[in-house]
Each structure stands twice: as structure tokens, then as C-alpha cells.
């Protein structure tokens, strides 16, 4: 799984995030995937027989490891860094990188550190306080072979998390027969 870190982490690190409006993705074949307000994991699960998560890395990082725009979205705070690959029927569909401020990992949310190979969306979106904002998107591929990504801030009990998701080539977002 380290190949995912080597191949896809640099794409997320160097992406130029833009607003969905500036890229005019609403109403496109793939726009509804990128604009999904609820759990992406639940949506992906509907497109396969077996949905799994592979935990690539999870560690605590110092606030100095955050980019300026990440600090702007979640604060100048130490975080738990979580990297996973979401897979459908054994195919890698999404590479995800989550930053969870250590201050978010308190109270009811302390269990976020123990997710292991459980999808983050399954936990976050079962809470009635969950919401998404600050949604940004980017195409990290080419016009012929797009690789779409999105980044958004999630809130649970008014505590932030920052999730960046890269939709890999096998993801249903690119398959016309899997659109729904």
C-alpha cells in the first residue's frame, strides 16, 4: 500500500484547489460525486459487493507539517494524520488523507483515533451534528484522463476535520453505467 502514498500523496500535496462554481462541475457526469454532501463511503458502498478500507498510515503530526491553507481551515494545531484507500470489490477507488486536530479527539470524538479500517464517513455521518463545508475541487489529471479530487472540512459536534479525497481511475465517478 505504500505505492499509494508514493503515487497519490504528491498529487494531493500539489493540487490547486478551486471552488466547485469556478470549475462549473454542477450538472456534469461526475459533479454529483464531488458535491456529495453526505458520506462518500456509503455512496461508494452502493456500487460494489464488497466495500473495504485499507489503512495506509496513521500518526500524530506537528502543526508545522500543515500547509498554510490547511491551517486556515482547521487552525494552527497538532493533528492526527490518517491515510486510507477506499476499495470496491478489491479495486482502489479513492485515496483519502484526513487531518483531525487533536482537540477534536476529545469527548465523544475520542473514538475517531480508533477507526482502523472502518470508514470515517460511517462514523461521522451517523452523528446528527455532522456537516460539511469549505468544499473545494481539483482535476489533478489531464483532460483525456481526469483524476478528480475534493477537499472539505467536516464538523462533528462543532469540532473540525479536514478530508482530501482523490478519485482514482477505477472509481465509479468515471463510469457512465455506474452513475447514481
Separation of alpha carbons 157 and 106, rounded Å: 11
Whose CA is closest to 176, among 47, 38, 35, 40? Answer: 47
Q: Which residue numbers belong to the known binding site?
A: 82, 120, 165
E-assigned strands of the chain? 51-61, 79-88, 91-101, 131-139, 148-156, 159-167
- Residue 42 backbone zone (phi > 0: left; psi -120 to 50: alpha; other: beta): alpha
Q: Which residue numbers belong to the known binding site for substrate?
A: 82, 120, 165
| 36 within 8 A of 43, measured Cβ to Cβ | yes
Amino acid at each position: 500500500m505504500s505505492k499509494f502514498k508514493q503515487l497519490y500523496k504528491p498529487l494531493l500535496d500539489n493540487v490547486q484547489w478551486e471552488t466547485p462554481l469556478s470549475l462549473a462541475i454542477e450538472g456534469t457526469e461526475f459533479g454529483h460525486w464531488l458535491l456529495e454532501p453526505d458520506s462518500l463511503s456509503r455512496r461508494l458502498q452502493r456500487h460494489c459487493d464488497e466495500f473495504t478500507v485499507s489503512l495506509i498510515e496513521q500518526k500524530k503530526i506537528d502543526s508545522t507539517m500543515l500547509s498554510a491553507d490547511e491551517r486556515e481551515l482547521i487552525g494552527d494545531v497538532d493533528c492526527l494524520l490518517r491515510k486510507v484507500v477506499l476499495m470496491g470489490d478489491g479495486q482502489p477507488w479513492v485515496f483519502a488523507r484526513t487531518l483531525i486536530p487533536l482537540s477534536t479527539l476529545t469527548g465523544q470524538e475520542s473514538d475517531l483515533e480508533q477507526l482502523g479500517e472502518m470508514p470515517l464517513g460511517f462514523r461521522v455521518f451517523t452523528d446528527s451534528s455532522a456537516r460539511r463545508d469549505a468544499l473545494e475541487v481539483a482535476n489533478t489529471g489531464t483532460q483525456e484522463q481526469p483524476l478528480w479530487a475534493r477537499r472539505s472540512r467536516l464538523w462533528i459536534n462543532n469540532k473540525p476535520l479536514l478530508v482530501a479525497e482523490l478519485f482514482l481511475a477505477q472509481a465509479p465517478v468515471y463510469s457512465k453505467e455506474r452513475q447514481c
